[in-house]
Structure 1
Amino acid sequence: MNVAVVTVGDELLAGRTTDTNATWLCERLADRGATVERVTTVPDRIAAIARVVNEYRAEYDAVIVTGGLGPTHDDVTMAGIAAALGRSLEEHEEALAWLEEDGYSRAELTEGTAALPEGARALHNDVGVAPGATLEGVYVLPGVPTEMRAMFESIKSEFSGTTTHLVEVVADEPESALLDRLAEVQDRFDVSVGSYPGESVRLTVESTDEEIAEAAAAWLREHVETA
């Protein structure tokens, strides 16, 4: 399952807020065997959200969008999703019923709190107020990390794929000196190899077969200087 992640927020683009949502989602999706092929941040503008979501939903099995939910002036994500899907925004009766069960009367809720694209399935916000939504392979989650994580947990079963096994080896050699060993381990084993330099070089070997991944890592440990 190929997935794109879109995070929404002017504050992300200005560097005022760190985008932890994308990293967390990528980790959880990888754990489930789904492949994230695109992570994009867009501003709080309906046209920008609609353009990116419309492009990605044609390319990927699912698009997860986080941020910009609620009734305030800069919460325009639902409108952007509706525009991308050619739907109108409507008050969602099921979402309103959930909120009432949580102790919110309709009179207390700001207008637009439960406005979702027509035909969407509402996603209940167990630790917040504004509901999420899913429709046509697009999943819309809150931007508040605690709310986003709780909501994703409620839908994680809808994301799947072939689980891969990753093993790490730390090498105490310059990355440029490792090129021959990196090429050879890929010739010997059916693995993907990553190389990430820093104070030392972190090497990763990844395979859908755990035994092959472990064997490739063992071969590397024998053939590189380890930290």
Structure 2
Amino acid sequence: MLKNVTVELIFTGNELLNGRILNTNSRYLCKKISNLGASVIRIITVPDDLELISYNIKNSINNIPSILIISGGMGTSFDDMTLEAVSNAIKKPLLMNEKALEYIKINYEFLKKIKLLKDFKLDDYKKKMATLPEGSIPLYNAMGAAPGIMLECKTPQNAETLILCLPGVPSELKSLFRTHIVRIIKEKVGGNKYIKESFFVEGFIESEITFLSEKIMSEFNNEIWIKTFVKSPHIRKAIEFEVSSRGLEIPTKEKVKNTIRRLKEEIKKRNGKIL
């Protein structure tokens, strides 16, 4: 059986917790990561507080995910503290990274060239974005100034977690994800695929057929996940059955197909209408 690649997500920023900003990055990452065959097992949102960010990073590493993605807090502002929090959590010193500095210079020189910036001075605020925990590999950010970072760390259980830090600006996060993170996750996942199919039925309210999900899942040794979705639980309208599983592509597709066949058999027995 292929290894299940697990991912935890940490989002930083007061603006996410006070309702000013909708966290669209969370949905984007969960959808993309799942489609690549990995499993998001936990999402945490923390305020701009160094101690709390450090604590939650340490806590996540202790949970031994294959990958820990931290979004936000990578810029020049006083409340951008993700790099320092990672440094504190894994006890690695912050060091000036020449490659990260080079990436930052390239982006600011480009802004100067296209006249969006009058002058470019490499001050301490900009250098902050290149001051990374020891052992970090910077990831070039084509959409903004702050590079992402990739860093392997040992867990307390002597396992390994890959830490990935990404800017919180959605356009930058998406660009870095497409350019760097997709490849990284694919390498870890190997031949694992996430297969998902759905169909709709009429003639029931959800409570009348919810037991079918458990019944059929147990038939397949709980290697399949069945979820129902309804617009209103009290109205006899269409119910969506979503069937999903992870594994090697061909056998997993077959398993999903057989699960749907069994569900449809049981629904027809109960005079349900399959749309």
TM-score where L is the length of structure 1:
0.91
Aligned match of 2:143? 127
Unaligned runs of 5+ in 1: none
CA-to-aligned-CA distance 1:170-199 (integer Å, 9 cap, x gap) = 233211100343234324445221123323
Q: Does 1:5 align with 2:45?
A: no
Instruction: Tell me how many residue pairs correspond in the alignment.
Output: 227
Q: Does 1:219 align with 2:262?
A: yes
Contact 2:107 2:145 in 1 (8 A): no
Aligned match of 1:202? 240
Give the 3-state SS of the residue equivalent to 2:193 in structure 1.
Answer: coil
Aligned match of 1:175? 206
Aligned match of 2:163? 138
Cα drift, residue 202 of structure 1: 2.4
Aligned match of 1:166? 196
What is the alpha-carbon distance in structure 2 between the residues aligned to residue 50 and residue 15 of structure 1? 23
Does 16-25 or 178-187 show the bigger shift?
178-187
Task: Give runs of ≥4 in structure 1 deviating > 6 Å.
Answer: none
Aligned match of 1:113? 129
Unaligned runs of 5+ in 2: 110-118, 154-161, 233-237
Q: 1:219 to 1:73 in 2, by over 3 A?
A: same
Contact 2:103 2:147 in 1 (8 A): no
What is the alpha-carbon distance in structure 2 between the residues aligned to residue 180 and residue 3 of structure 1? 30
CA-to-aligned-CA distance 1:66-116 (integer Å, 9 cap, x gap) = 011111111111111111111222222111112223343872453413221
Give the 3-state SS of the residue equivalent to 1:70 in structure 2.
Answer: coil
1:2-151 alignment to 2 at 5 Å?
A: 2-59=6-63, 60-104=65-109, 107-109=121-123, 110-111=125-126, 112-135=128-151, 136=153, 137-151=162-176
What is the alpha-carbon distance in structure 2 between the residues aligned to residue 198 and residue 213 of structure 1? 24
Q: 1:170 to 1:83 in 2, by over 3 A?
A: same
Structure showing greater radius of gyration is 2
What is the alpha-carbon distance in structure 1 between the residues aligned to residue 211 and residue 108 of structure 2? 64
Q: Percent identity?
A: 26
Which residue type is aligned with residue 217 of structure 1?
Answer: I
Does 29-38 or 213-222 show the bigger shift?
213-222
Q: What is the Cα-based RMSD across aligned positions, in Å?
A: 2.0
Does 165-174 or 28-37 show the bigger shift?
165-174
Does 91-100 or 195-204 show the bigger shift?
195-204
